[in-house]
Amino acid sequence: MPTHSELFDAYALHGRDGTRVRMNFVSSADGAVTLGGQSGALGGDTDRELMQVLRAMADVVLVGAGTVRAEGYGGLKVDEGDVEWRRARGLDDQPALAVLSGRLHLDPADSVFTEAVRAPVIVTTDAAAAADGRRFESVATVLACGEDEVDLAAMLDAFARRGWTQVLCEGGPHLFGALLQADLVDEVCITLAPRFVGGEAGRIVQGAAEADRRFHLAGVVTDDEGFVFFRYVAS
Ligand SMILES: NC(=O)c1ccc[n+]([C@@H]2O[C@H](COP(=O)([O-])OP(=O)(O)OC[C@H]3O[C@@H](n4cnc5c(N)ncnc54)[C@H](OP(=O)(O)O)[C@@H]3O)[C@@H](O)[C@H]2O)c1
């Protein structure tokens, strides 16, 4: 099994200047994004370790509202050892969490808010923020980016103004599709699970128009459970 520190080396960032959007997904070997409606069932020990390592390196973890609704996101935090790593680099103890929701179909009583170690940011449209944003005023900061649609580039600019340049996006597929479509993805980390699940689960990208988007392979890690971890960087 790769150790925590070997994963830090394999996924090291070369500098923290400038916005960088890094995606992290797990997929079955036959391309399913979920098993039983969730991604966790596809993962393994190294995958969970890698998720922690990538979170430890991030200024902000970004997720779509669909992923929050399906998976819950309460209590996201890095552990004490990683807090030390972050402090040594002048980072906040914990990464921020941002939830993207165009319609604000979120519940202020959801664990993503009630168990948060840092009050999350909800990214939405000007229209939704004006109509419904006040429901979240005691549990989150509402960040309006775009009149009737979320402007993802404006969202990243707003993150950068908060000092959040290293963005780890944990999905889901529609958010990945939107970021790809907007040409805003710098890196894709994919865990390929040695499982063939069939069923109706979709792919890791949804909603992006077909195009020949080329990335190069920056690293491959394997573990003794048969998982393969690919690190792709935009060409
Ligand atoms: N295998 C993996 O690594 C992995 C990772 C993440 C998720 N998943 C799975 O993926 C499934 C969820 O898929 P999904 O595609 O629905 O997830 P998603 O992208 O997290 O959620 C889609 C929702 O997020 C908001 N959203 C996404 N992009 C947006 C945009 N450009 N502008 C405005 N709002 C945007 C919208 O929320 P509103 O409806 O509130 O407007 C939209 O309905 C779940 O089953 C989850 O378990 C798997």
CB-based contact 83:94 (threshold 8 Å): yes
Our answer on whether the CB atom of 103 is closer than 6 Å to any ligand 1 atom is yes
Does residue 10 fall inside a structural domain? no
Closest atom of ligand 1 relative to the 104 alpha carbon: 40
Closest atom of ligand 1 relative to the 37 alpha carbon: 45
Integer-rounded Cα Rg, in Å, for the chain is 17
Q: Return the exposure string of 210-226: e unless at least 16 CB atoms fall within 10 Å of the residue's CB, then b.
A: eeeeeeeeeeebebeee
Does residue 126 fall inside a structural domain? yes
Does residue 7 fall inside a structural domain? no
Model pTM above 0.85: yes
Does residue 119 fall inside a structural domain? yes
Q: Which two three-digit tokens encode residue 201?
A: 């689960």
Q: In angstroms, how far is CA 41 from the centroid of its own chain?
A: 17
Q: Which of 101, 151, 183 to mutate to test the pocket of ligand 1 (most atoms within 8 A of CB)?
A: 101
75 Cα–ligand 1 center, Å: 19
CATH code for the domain in which residue 112 is found: 3.40.430.10
Distance in angstroms (rounded) separating the CA atoms of residues 59 and 148: 27
The number of folded domains in the chain is 1
Does residue 225 fall inside a structural domain? yes
Best CA proximity match to 204, nearest among 72, 29, 59: 29
Distance in angstroms (rounded) separating the CA atoms of residues 54 and 38: 20
Does residue 113 fall inside a structural domain? yes
Note down the domain range covering 67. 17-234
Q: Which positions of the chain have pLDDT values less than 70?
A: none
Query: What integer pLDDT is reported at residue 235 of this predicted model?
Result: 86
